[in-house]
Amino acid sequence: MIREEFLRLAADGYNRIPLACETLADFDTPLSIYLKLADQPNSYLLESVQGGEKWGRYSIIGLPCRTVLRVHDHHVSITVDGVETESHDVEDPLAFVETFKARYNVPTIAGLPRFNGGLVGYFGYDCVRYVEKRLGKCPNPDPLGVPDILLMVSDAVVVFDNLAGKMHAIVLADPAQADAYEQGQAQLQQLLEKLRQPITPRRGLDFSKQQAAEPVFRSSFTQDDYEKAVDTIKEYILAGDCMQVVPSQRMSIDFKAAPIDLYRALRCFNPTPYMYFFNFGDFHVVGSSPEVLVRVEDNLITVRPIAGTRPRGATEEADVALEEDLLSDDKEIAEHLMLIDLGRNDTGRVSEIGSVKLTEKMVIERYSNVMHIVSNVTGQLKAGLTAMDALRAILPAGTLSGAPKIRAMEIIDELEPVKRGVYGGAVGYFAWNGNMDTAIAIRTAVIKNGELHVQAGGGIVADSVPALEWEETINKRRAMFRAVALAEQTPD
Residues carrying an active site annotation: 372, 399, 423, 443, 459
User: What is 351-367 written as a DSSP string?
Assistant: B-TT--EEEEEEEEEE-
What does DSSP assign to residue 460? B
Whole-number Å distance between alpha carbons of 228 and 249: 13
- Residue 294 sits at φ, ψ, to 5 deg, of -155, 140
Whole-number Å distance between alpha carbons of 110 and 315: 47
**Beta bridge partners of residue 80, listed in sequence order:** 67, 83
For residues 167 and 28, the answer to whether their CB atoms sit within 8 Å is yes
- Residue 172 sits at φ, ψ, to 5 deg, of -95, 125
Which residue, among 449, 431, 429, has the nearest Cα to 150 in the 3D structure? Answer: 429
- Residues with Cβ < 8 Å from 43, sequence gap 6 or more? 34, 61, 62, 63, 64, 65, 278, 279
Query: Can you tell me whether residue 80 is helix, strand or coil?
Result: strand
Helix H segments across 196-294? 223-238, 259-269
How far from 370 is each of 225, 247, 257, CA to CA, in Å? 25, 19, 26
**Beta bridge partners of residue 380, listed in sequence order:** 300
Q: Name the helix (H) or strand (E) containing 47.
A: strand 43-47
Query: Can you tell me whether residue 221 is helix, strand or coil?
Result: coil
- Residues with Cβ < 8 Å from 275, sequence gap 6 or more? 46, 47, 48, 49, 263, 266, 267, 287, 288, 289
